[in-house]
Chains A and B, each alone.
Chain A
């Protein structure tokens, strides 16, 4: 069966450290992968997109990698801040399809 798994339900890190979140998928052939941030009671907000032929993408303190051999994406937040505390969702679109499928999310807490 198809699965999108994010490494842990919750991750706590100290302010200033780098947070690394993992997204693993099985039985998908994604054309691209996206990362979203979701705050409590709000809808997800788009952060970054990476295509299957790209290894790495950066935006300010965010970095995403995509390894289609390992079937894995890593999402890094450097110099983390308490304001980065939220749930982070990975999402992927199957090649040839248009709709996104989401992982279960990782709740990140950055401790001051």
Chain B
């Protein structure tokens, strides 16, 4: 058990809808990262937050947004969903903002299916 909690584990929804994925980092970790994993694209970095502030952005679509709350949990909001958004979404956490000694602890992921 990595200590990172993601909910829900599975989510089935329709095109055009909006969903929210939730992540609680390991106790004491200040950084949260969101990744998308699909069969053809591998693990793609979306966005990183550190202590409530956005720190780095990857290939995150404009339809997607995220935030990190004062209690350090994070939410990833996906809107106007398309079939191609179906994927496994992972949250990861690390102690600090990232650096040579930083390793990531991943949650078990949320499997999103858009029908």
Q: How far is the CB of A101 from chain B (nearest CB, A)?
A: 6
Residues of B within 8 A of A (CB): 2, 4, 31, 33, 35, 42-45, 48, 50, 55-56, 58, 90, 92, 97-109
Number of A-B pairs, beta carbon distance below 8 Å: 62
Is residue A16 within 8 Å, beta carbon to beta carbon, of the partner chain? Answer: no
Closest B-chain residue to A101, C-beta based? B45
Query: How far, in whole Å, are A97 and B43 apart by their CA atoms in the complex?
Result: 18
Query: How far, in whole Å, are A51 and B30 apart by their CA atoms in the complex?
Result: 23
Most central of A32, A51, A100, A102 by chain B CB within 10 Å? A100
Query: Which of B4, B42, B55, B108 sits near A98, CB closer than 8 Å?
Result: B55
B98 pairs with A43, CB closer than 8 A: no
Closest B-chain residue to A104, C-beta based? B42
Known A98-B56, A99-B98; 11 more pairs at CB < 8 Å: A31-B100, A34-B103, A49-B103, A51-B100, A98-B50, A98-B99, A99-B45, A99-B48, A101-B45, A102-B35, A103-B42
| Residues A32 and B100 in contact in the complex (CB < 8 Å), given A89-B43, A98-B55, A98-B56 | yes
A102 pairs with B106, CB closer than 8 A: no
B100 pairs with A98, CB closer than 8 A: no
Query: How far, in whole Å, are A93 and B31 apart by their CA atoms in the complex?
Result: 15
Contact residues in A for B43 (Cβ distance below 8 Å): 44, 89, 102, 105
Is residue A59 within 8 Å, beta carbon to beta carbon, of the partner chain? Answer: no
Q: How far is the CB of A57 from chain B (nearest CB, A)?
A: 13
Q: How far is the CB of B22 from chain A (nearest CB, A)?
A: 15
Which A residues, 63 to 110, have Cβ-Cβ distances below 8 Å to chain B?
89, 93, 97-105
Closest A-chain residue to B92, C-beta based? A43
Contact residues in B for A43 (Cβ distance below 8 Å): 2, 4, 90, 92, 106-109
Q: List 23 A-B contacts (CB under 8 A).
A: A31-B100, A32-B100, A41-B109, A42-B108, A42-B109, A44-B90, A45-B2, A45-B106, A46-B104, A51-B100, A97-B56, A97-B98, A98-B50, A98-B56, A99-B33, A99-B56, A99-B58, A100-B33, A100-B45, A100-B104, A101-B45, A104-B42, A105-B43
